[in-house]
Amino acid sequence: MELVIDRLSKHYKNKIAVDRVSLTLKEGVYGLLGANGSGKTTLMRMICGVLKPTSGEVKFNGIDVSEEKFRDLLGYLPQDFGYYPEFTAYDFLLYLSSLKGLTRQRAKDRTSELLKLVGLSDVAKKKIKSFSGGMKQRLGIAQALLNNPKILVLDEPTAGLDPNERVRFRNLISRLGKDRIVLLSTHIVSDVEYIASTILLMKNGQIIHKGPLEEIIRPIEGKVFECLVDCNTAEYLIANYPIINVREEKDKTFLRLVAEKAPCKEAKAVTAVLEDLYLYYFNKEANKSEQLYGIN
């Protein structure tokens, strides 16, 4: 099983949204991380055949993304999940099952199975318009799984989910990744850290780093520090270093930051996590006045 993305690009008038991305994905869970505007959604839409690339190609086991056979193997949850508000959850999944070519009995069995899987069995006969945001998102995950896809693409799948729902989702995706390719994009870095076997960092339309967690965070190992300092020292550090976290504590300020060496006498080195790396890379997008250090 192999999904090959070969020099995939998407150009708009004055912008290159995706710039010659090449990847080979096999069974497992891939977490796609990047700031807003980095090209994640554009890349995923091209992989799913929703958006035509300017150049390059996508193939699964030799089948091009433009072929009907490719769609039969694909499950997709877009960032803006569309639904019919007057449909019940059960009828909505039955309707989509028919569009995906499932037999009537198979559609009924699969619908019941997936509603149970995503924790919506007890509201199966309720109209979708009465659902909370998290419930709608769970329904979106269910519809992406209807045809038991070999390629599962999930764009911001944990949006609107509460912490318990996110844990359930993470456990589900971990299981699904054993015998299929799962590509998910999310701003909730901890979700990727928990479930992705391979992490892809995307910036300015390109994949700038890829690999397992321990490899991805290696560039900032020994460079993450925490300190509790007075307001003057805090102002200096905030102005001169990439800041991961700030917390006011009475007359002191707690900082978590990245530096080549201890930036002050109070600073102590701590274990780096994926969120540190994410904020470190994309600090510039969040605050144009800050500079990134130490990673090439």
Question: 29-42 pLDDT, tens per residue?
Answer: 999 998 888 899 99
Q: Give start and end residues of each alpha helix (H) in the chain.
A: 40-47, 68-72, 89-99, 104-117, 133-144, 163-176, 189-195, 213-216, 231-240, 274-286
pTM of the model: 0.85
What does the pLDDT look like over 173-199, one tens digit per residue? 888 888 899 999 987 788 888 889 999
Question: Which superfamily, per CATH, for 3-216?
Answer: P-loop containing nucleotide triphosphate hydrolases (3.40.50.300)
DSSP 8-state code for residue 100 = T
pLDDT band for 261, please (50, 70, 90 cuts).
Answer: very high
CB 107 within 8 A of CB 99: no
Task: Print burial letters for 5-43: b (CB count within 10 Å at least 16), e (below 16).
Answer: beebbbeeeeeebbeebebebeebbbbbbbbeebbbbbb
pLDDT of residue 160: 72
**210-237 average pLDDT score:** 93
Position 68 pLDDT exceeds 60: yes
Domain extent listing, the chain: 3-216, 218-286
What percentage of the chain exceeds 90 in pLDDT?
65
DSSP 8-state code for residue 248 = E
Among 215, 169, 182, 218, smallest CA distance to 74 is for 182
CB atoms within 10 A of CB 199: 24
What's the mean pLDDT when you consider all of the chain?
A: 89
**89-113 average pLDDT score:** 94
CA 69 to chain CA mean position, Å: 26
